[in-house]
Amino acid sequence: MQIGIVGLGRMGANIARRLMRGGQTCVVYDHAPEATQAVVADGATGATDLGDLVKKLAAPRSVWLMLPAGKITEDSLNDLYEILEAGDTIIDGGNSFYKDDIVHAAKLKEKGIHFVDVGTSGGVWGLERGYCMMIGGEKDVVQRHDPILSVLAPGRGDIPATPNREGRDTRVENGYMHVGPVGAGHFVKMVHNGIEYGLMQAYAEGFDILKHKSSTDLPEAQRYDLDIADVAEVWRRGSVVSSWLLDLTAGALAGNSTLDKYSAEVADSGEGRWTIEAALEEAVPAQVLSAALYARFRSREENSFADRMLSAMRFGFGGHKEFSPGLK
Amino acid sequence: MQIGIVGLGRMGANIARRLMRGGQTCVVYDHAPEATQAVVADGATGATDLGDLVKKLAAPRSVWLMLPAGKITEDSLNDLYEILEAGDTIIDGGNSFYKDDIVHAAKLKEKGIHFVDVGTSGGVWGLERGYCMMIGGEKDVVQRHDPILSVLAPGRGDIPATPNREGRDTRVENGYMHVGPVGAGHFVKMVHNGIEYGLMQAYAEGFDILKHKSSTDLPEAQRYDLDIADVAEVWRRGSVVSSWLLDLTAGALAGNSTLDKYSAEVADSGEGRWTIEAALEEAVPAQVLSAALYARFRSREENSFADRMLSAMRFGFGGHKEFSPGLK
Amino acid sequence: MQIGIVGLGRMGANIARRLMRGGQTCVVYDHAPEATQAVVADGATGATDLGDLVKKLAAPRSVWLMLPAGKITEDSLNDLYEILEAGDTIIDGGNSFYKDDIVHAAKLKEKGIHFVDVGTSGGVWGLERGYCMMIGGEKDVVQRHDPILSVLAPGRGDIPATPNREGRDTRVENGYMHVGPVGAGHFVKMVHNGIEYGLMQAYAEGFDILKHKSSTDLPEAQRYDLDIADVAEVWRRGSVVSSWLLDLTAGALAGNSTLDKYSAEVADSGEGRWTIEAALEEAVPAQVLSAALYARFRSREENSFADRMLSAMRFGFGGHKEFSPGLK
Amino acid sequence: MQIGIVGLGRMGANIARRLMRGGQTCVVYDHAPEATQAVVADGATGATDLGDLVKKLAAPRSVWLMLPAGKITEDSLNDLYEILEAGDTIIDGGNSFYKDDIVHAAKLKEKGIHFVDVGTSGGVWGLERGYCMMIGGEKDVVQRHDPILSVLAPGRGDIPATPNREGRDTRVENGYMHVGPVGAGHFVKMVHNGIEYGLMQAYAEGFDILKHKSSTDLPEAQRYDLDIADVAEVWRRGSVVSSWLLDLTAGALAGNSTLDKYSAEVADSGEGRWTIEAALEEAVPAQVLSAALYARFRSREENSFADRMLSAMRFGFGGHKEFSPGLK
């Protein structure tokens, strides 16, 4: 099957490569010509702009967007709205907000253009391992793209089957799922990332407790000097906390046990925040997912107003000397 | 009534002064002679050491300790154990751990020495406003010290009476309460401080949201430039969030609206942590009180191991470039 | 000054009464005729519908809406848009979302109608104590309504002045504040309520720890049987946790020390949720305010899906027998 | 190697079986004779009491305790203290508190008896998959038990090796690790379980958000009716949230998609609480791990005092009618 791919960053370029390895045909475009050239070198047809890309695709066309959510995706959708035709399909494989999908799909529908949202997990590992995909859209449109989706998906691999799944949609065991109408794909991916934040923070706090156990703030008799890298490794085997994130953690610690080459300022994408907004809309108590998101906010702050206010209150009530160094 | 006071810091010295203003007699001692002299200048009898203090008191003696919890209080208790006599009383007015009280009382009882624990709230304001006291100990021993306690307490003042309290212990409306046996006073004071952390953090977060509303990270149309000092002031009048802590916050902001003269590294005393330990023992979900305590821990950390681990995982999975500045 | 008041629930009716006591003239309307009559009995002019209310006001008219946020406020604004004239003013004194204010004001401006948003705190106590008001809108329009606002406000009362406020807007010390342009009033009120949730939860958790200290789940030697009502009362005097919310708590406990007449299902209004949304937009770590909101969500749930999932995992991994009673 | 095993519950019996399958010799005892018989049927030598077990072991003896932490483990240690001899070893494979280990080891040392603490993870899966073990104790004593430990451990299996681990202790890649002196094994296992709680709660909240997305409390246009069981399954393939806990969750959902056969009252063992105590001692902000633990506390409560207090405050301030059903 032929597909156009727009956006050839870490994710988009590898998606094109995996598709071509799986026998599919890709017309690719990135606003950076060298990004386009790199994928052309691996067998894709390059395009110089969106118009050129559309011209190089046979109707009914399918265009996969793999762009940052927000303005860039928005602009490309608007441009494609002008130049695509009835019967064509746009697949948004990025991290767009699911409520935006619904607006986008409605607008494209005016011209008879289909819209599919695909939440895509796989990171830099997707090229080799495949991408886990959560898909929203019309049933037959999703079905028509199965040649693409089945190639991108991880497949069963050597992951043991879950019992009691007889008679269920077999795409799911292959790592891709048509989860519902437009927006549903990105909704499920959004929650997926919200969970990811929670899992990451759980490990981070636990290892922090292990790390601080050797702190000289503790009485000597209460200290253990633990090899954190080995602890991460041993938990990968037979322990209930084993996971892919732990594999990655063990890898990072084996190479740099103090983790001092890593920043302590942790970015968050929209999805973590939108997950909390969904929890608010649904009145779901998301204590852990929120706490994990806030830990990221906090990691990027220094000398916060909130903390200064606590100091000010302590001084006001108890006369505690809590002044900033310059003013002591 | 005559009382010995050991420890003449911000709290102890003012306790002595309030007692003397209320017609009581104080023999005072601090390991720093100038601290002793300052209170002697206000009318107390000074002592040069614990032995001297005990000698200057008539039996049955009462000694009020106003010392940092832990080793210093412990050492003084041990010394007094040696030199006090049956029928004497030690009052621990500091912030000792309530389980330690029980051990202390049992030891003193061997010699017939009584023990009373008094959780004392009032900060630098106590001299003028009086001290709110939560008292643990034997009924008659507590009763015997009423001349002291009633003078230290704030009294009814102009605080409106609570309806439906007819027939209840009138000491409570005067701001002091015999809450239970040994340890109970410090237990209630401990929870009091745990609550205090929660209240402080609630204000701090709310004002932080107000403050960030003018951040240039927000689109201009979404910004308000709010006068935080005025907001704190207006909430003091008729609003349900009015409180003493808010009064203090309004005062701090009126003098320094950016709070930049205050440290953003917030200390915590043992009581906040012990409150959470009590919640753990009792299986009480203390989400807010814990979150408030952790915010203080976090305020004193930079470049935390937990945050670096999040960066390491992000790099490992998604190839996100999250390196510390020196190693980019 | 003459003003129309629409919505005569607990808040609206008392606002009318306080205005009339302060010498202002009110034309009032509620969709329930008996609510209208009750305020007419206290001196207001009644109206039978919005049209009638508008007819009974002299231009330039001012109409204060005190209605539930959302559809009801929305509908009334639309109706008034049709029948008011250029130069008139609508004051939304309810708990509307501040972003909606901006939309409302823009629409009304098309016809030259002014809009003022007033966040109003005071509860059932406002009639006697006055209302703390946070006001958004155009400077001169707010100024023109000072006769109304100054009467509704609590005034200085006997609350001690905050030092260092010389030269600042004196309205603030009287309990009302022009905080900024349209929406700013409700924004500040929204955060006010977010803080309120945090404060309430801090007290609730602390008292819960006190309560559980008598639980028979604890070893007998670790129990204290505390008089919670007295603890609340004693903290009102000289303690740093004293506040209006504590006054109310002490009152509730004095009348019903087990609180068994109260529901344990706690409602939340939009403002708590919007406060968290604002924190998300601003990347402010609002751990305590979120935890407090989630505690309310959780209070209204039984047998939650999340908890069942924990049981399912425990069974799956450890064979722990965690089945619902019917299926054990 | 010969070993005595005391406590033949889900974990202990399978540990004996795995050892025997691996060519080791077991003398086993459980206070329930039928539990002993079941393991004898699989090839073990049975003992009728601790004395009998000790008699059937050749010196230097090794006894593995697999008992509930606390009194039962304590009593068995005391009994074994009396009947074991210098040079013998007790291995505590249960979930004891690591500070207790230090006390136990010191006492046993008086008689020359060695002590090893082993945190053992593996659940009902350990028999087939092996047990992940975190071991504390003297180096040579741990080394001497390698025949036992290497058989119990999972081994490398088909889990991909972590890069950069050349030259490190190979036991770790086989799933067991000598983490440090006495107590260190249980300390690491404790944190492991703390992390487990956090991971579980992250999944539980995320799935709860997915589940509530079909709630009729949402406007119809905002609902998706998601197949939660399929979502869990698809995330097992190529997604960054894949983990063993997710495998178990997918299994539970495939068999019972509503999870209505599971209890919503979630137990917690000591380790979750001790992890938070360690965080408190070390001043580590453990927001997520605490929130996860509190969610379990909360799952077991109905009609909590804290929630009633919130209702009481709401009534007191705003006149909101929040009464328990019987008293409305």
Please indicate whether residue A246 or residue A221 has the higher confidence score (pLDDT). Answer: A246
Residue A68, Cβ density class (10 Å: 0-12 exposed, 13-18 middle, ≥19 buried): middle
The answer to whether the Cβ–Cβ distance between B239 and C168 falls below 8 Å is: no
Q: Which residues pair with C148 in a beta bridge?
A: none
| Residue range(s) in chain C whose domain bears CATH number 3.40.50.720 | 2-181
Phi, psi of A33 (to 5 degrees): -55, -35
CA dihedral B71, B77, B80, B85 (to 10 degrees): -170
List Cα–Cα distances, D128 to A244, C19, D19, D158, in angstroms: 21, 78, 11, 14
What residue type is assigned to position A8 of the chain? L
User: What residues of chain B lie within 8 A of the CB of D287, using their CB?
Assistant: 290-291, 294
Q: Which residues pair with B116 in a beta bridge?
A: B91
Active site residues of A: 189, 196
User: What residues of chain C lie within 8 A of the CB of A191, using their CB?
Assistant: none
| Residue range(s) in chain C whose domain bears CATH number 1.10.1040.10 | 189-226+263-305
Look at residue C319 in the predicted model and tell me its pLDDT.
77
Cis peptide bond prior to A60, omega within 30° of 0: yes
CA atoms within 13 A on the CB side of C247: 15
Collapsing DSSP states into helix, strand and coil, what is residue D120?
strand
Smallest CA–CA separation between C274 and chain A, in Å?
Answer: 9
CB A4 within 8 A of CB A63: yes
Residue B182, Cβ density class (10 Å: 0-12 exposed, 13-18 middle, ≥19 buried): buried
What residue type is assigned to position D179 of the chain? V
Predicted confidence (pLDDT) per residue in A12-68, tens digit: 999 999 999 999 999 999 999 999 999 999 999 999 999 999 999 999 999 999 999
The answer to whether the Cβ–Cβ distance between D273 and B280 falls below 8 Å is: yes
Look at residue A328 in the predicted model and tell me its pLDDT.
34
Size of interface A-B (CB pairs under 8 A): 205
Closest CA to D215 of A279, C306, C308, A282: A282
Collapsing DSSP states into helix, strand and coil, what is residue D133?
strand
Look at residue A53 in the predicted model and tell me its pLDDT.
98
Whole-angstrom Cα distance, residue C301 to residue C298? 5
Q: Which of C280, C286, C300 sits opposite A277 (nearest CB)?
A: C280
Residue with tokens 């050239």: A37
Residues comprising chain D, all counted: 328
User: What residues of chain D lie within 8 A of the CB of C320, using their CB?
Assistant: 267
Whole-angstrom Cα distance, residue B141 to residue B144? 5
For an interface test with A, the pick among D271, D288, D293, D301 (most A C-beta atoms closer than 10 Å) comes out as: D288
Report the relative pairing of strands B2-6 and C62-65 from DSSP bridges.
unpaired
List Cα–Cα distances, B31 to A223, B6, B34, B36, D234, in angstroms: 33, 9, 9, 8, 69
Q: Which helix H or strand E contains A116, and what residues bound it? A: strand A114-121
Q: Which of C212, C259, C311 sits opposite D264 (nearest CB)?
A: C311
Q: Which residues pair with B115 in a beta bridge?
A: B90
Ranges in chain D, pLDDT < 70? 321-328
List Cα–Cα distances, B13 to B4, B6, B28, in angstroms: 12, 9, 9
Look at residue B319 in the predicted model and tell me its pLDDT.
77
List Cα–Cα distances, B91 to B35, D96, D224, in angstroms: 20, 38, 64
User: What residues of chain C lie within 8 A of the CB of D309, using their CB?
Assistant: 200, 203-204, 207-208, 249, 252, 259, 262
Provide the residue-wise pLDDT of chain B in tens; the chain has 328 residues.
999 999 999 899 999 999 999 999 999 999 999 999 999 999 999 999 999 999 999 999 999 999 999 999 999 999 999 999 999 999 999 999 999 999 999 999 999 999 999 999 998 899 999 999 999 999 999 999 999 999 999 999 989 999 999 999 999 999 999 999 999 999 999 999 999 999 999 999 999 999 999 999 999 989 999 999 999 999 999 999 999 999 999 999 999 999 999 999 999 989 999 999 999 999 999 999 999 999 999 999 988 999 999 999 998 888 766 655 443 3
- At A149, list the tokens: 């989706």
Whole-angstrom Cα distance, residue D172 to residue C143? 74
CB A310 within 8 A of CB B266: yes
Does position A327 have pLDDT exceeding 50, yes or no?
no
Look at residue B323 in the predicted model and tell me its pLDDT.
59
Predicted confidence (pLDDT) per residue in D47-87, tens digit: 999 999 999 999 999 999 999 999 999 999 999 999 999 99
CB B233 within 8 A of CB C173: yes
User: What residues of chain C lie within 8 A of the CB of D307, using their CB?
Assistant: 204, 263-266, 295, 299
- Sorted by sequence, the CB contacts under 8 Å of residue A235 that are 6+ apart come out as A241, A242, A246, A250, D121, D132, D192
- Sorted by sequence, the CB contacts under 8 Å of residue A78 that are 6+ apart come out as none
CB D131 within 8 A of CB A238: yes
Q: Please, which chains are in contact with A (at least 3 CB pairs closer than 8 A)? A: B, C, D
Closest CA to D268 of A211, B278, C322, B73: C322
Task: Please tell me which residue of chain C has the smallest CA distance to A283.
Answer: C297
Longest dimension (CA), chain D: 76
- At C7, list the tokens: 């919505």
The answer to whether the Cβ–Cβ distance between D306 and C259 falls below 8 Å is: no
Whole-angstrom Cα distance, residue C19 to residue D291? 47
Task: Please tell me which residue of chain B has the smallest CA distance to A287.
Answer: B287
CA angle D244, D246, D250 (to 5 degrees): 120
Whole-angstrom Cα distance, residue B190 to residue B197? 11
Q: Which residues pair with B25 in a beta bridge?
A: B2
Residue C190, Cβ density class (10 Å: 0-12 exposed, 13-18 middle, ≥19 buried): buried
User: What residues of chain C lie within 8 A of the CB of D189, using their CB?
Assistant: none
Ranges in chain C, pLDDT < 70? 320-328
Collapsing DSSP states into helix, strand and coil, what is residue D31?
coil
Smallest CA–CA separation between B277 and chain A, in Å?
Answer: 17
The answer to whether the Cβ–Cβ distance between B243 and C242 falls below 8 Å is: yes
Cis peptide bond prior to D154, omega within 30° of 0: no
For an interface test with C, the pick among D269, D317, D324 (most C C-beta atoms closer than 10 Å) comes out as: D317
Look at residue B328 in the predicted model and tell me its pLDDT.
34
Collapsing DSSP states into helix, strand and coil, what is residue C251?
helix
Predicted confidence (pLDDT) per residue in A277-296, tens digit: 999 999 999 999 999 999 99
State whether CATH 3.40.50.720 applies to domain A2-181: yes
The answer to whether the Cβ–Cβ distance between C287 and A283 falls below 8 Å is: no
Whole-angstrom Cα distance, residue A278 to residue A281? 5
Size of interface C-D (CB pairs under 8 A): 206
Cis peptide bond prior to D325, omega within 30° of 0: no
User: What residues of chain C lie within 8 A of the CB of B272, using their CB?
Assistant: none
Report the relative pairing of strands D132-136 and D114-121 from DSSP bridges.
antiparallel
Collapsing DSSP states into helix, strand and coil, what is residue C275?
helix
Q: Which of B285, B286, B298 sits opposite D285 (nearest CB)?
A: B298
- Sorted by sequence, the CB contacts under 8 Å of residue C75 that are 6+ apart come out as none
Whole-angstrom Cα distance, residue C264 to residue C259? 9
Whole-angstrom Cα distance, residue A214 to residue C321? 38
Collapsing DSSP states into helix, strand and coil, what is residue D314?
helix
State whether CATH 3.40.50.300 applies to domain A189-226+263-305: no
SS (H, E, C) B244-312: HHHHHHHHHHHHCCCCCCECCCCCCCHHHHHHHHHHHHHCCCCHHHHHHHHHHHHHCCCCCHHHHHHHH
Whole-angstrom Cα distance, residue A139 to residue D201? 33
CB A7 within 8 A of CB A140: no
Size of interface A-D (CB pairs under 8 A): 338
What residue type is assigned to position B184 of the chain? A
The answer to whether the Cβ–Cβ distance between A280 and C276 falls below 8 Å is: yes
Chain D residues with CB within 8 Å of chain B CB: 240, 268, 273, 276-277, 280, 283-287, 290-291, 293-295, 297-298, 300-301, 306, 317
CB A81 within 8 A of CB A73: no
